Structure formats: C-alpha cells, structure tokens
Amino acid sequence: MSAPALVFLAPPPAGGDHDVTPDLPASRPARAARPAATLRMTRGARNAAAGMDVTDADVQRCLDAPDDVTPDARNPSRDRYRRSDLVVLAAADGMVLRIERRGR
C-alpha cells in the first residue's frame, strides 16, 4: 500500500522552503471598539417597555448597575434586576423576558 500523493493548494512562501512565522488569525477589535450589541428582548417585553415609555438604554442601565438582584421566585435560573422603580426579569443567557414598574 502506498501513501496518497500530496497536493499543495498554495505556492510556497517566497522566503524559502520553510516559513518560520505561523499564520495567526486576525485579532478581534477590543470590546469598546466593537459596535454595541442590541438588547435582546421578547416581543412581550418590548411591547411592555414601549407602553411604559422605557427605553432600551433604561433597561440596559438596570441590567448593568442594578440596585438589587434576586433570583425569580417561580424560576430560580432567571434573575430579577431592580433599579429605582424599574424591574427587569432576564434569562440566564441575557434575554429580557419581562419589564415592570413597581413602587419602592
């Protein structure tokens, strides 16, 4: 049994038979340089936010710097974020499931 023939798809580098620098993937830009990801919300949460005049920025501030974070009573894998009178229920993957306004 003989070994299969090797087929080269690209010509060898101009510097000789061997290239001493490995091909590295292009580096990703820093997080600050990348465009901000859009806030992921269910349709019901988006409609509730629009009905209460809550902007995406308000929801993002609540998620980024909440006054209080507790697990949801019905589903402990979900978190309830509270900032001022805004309460946001989010899944473990960051999807906003519900938005409410409550008194302190």
Reported as a single tens digit per residue, the pLDDT across 18-41 is: 555 555 555 555 544 444 557 899
Give the residue, 31 or 47, on which the prediction is more confident: 47
Question: Measuring CA to CA, which residue among 99, 101, 102 is closest to residue 47?
Answer: 99
pTM: 0.61
Look-up: residue for tokens 């949801």? Answer: 72
CB-based contact 70:77 (threshold 8 Å): no
- For strand 68-71 and strand 86-90, is the pairing parallel, antiparallel, or unpaired? unpaired
Q: Is the dihedral of CA 40, 46, 52, 54 positive or negative?
A: positive
- Could you give the CA distance from residue 46 to residue 32 in angstroms, rounded to a whole number? 26
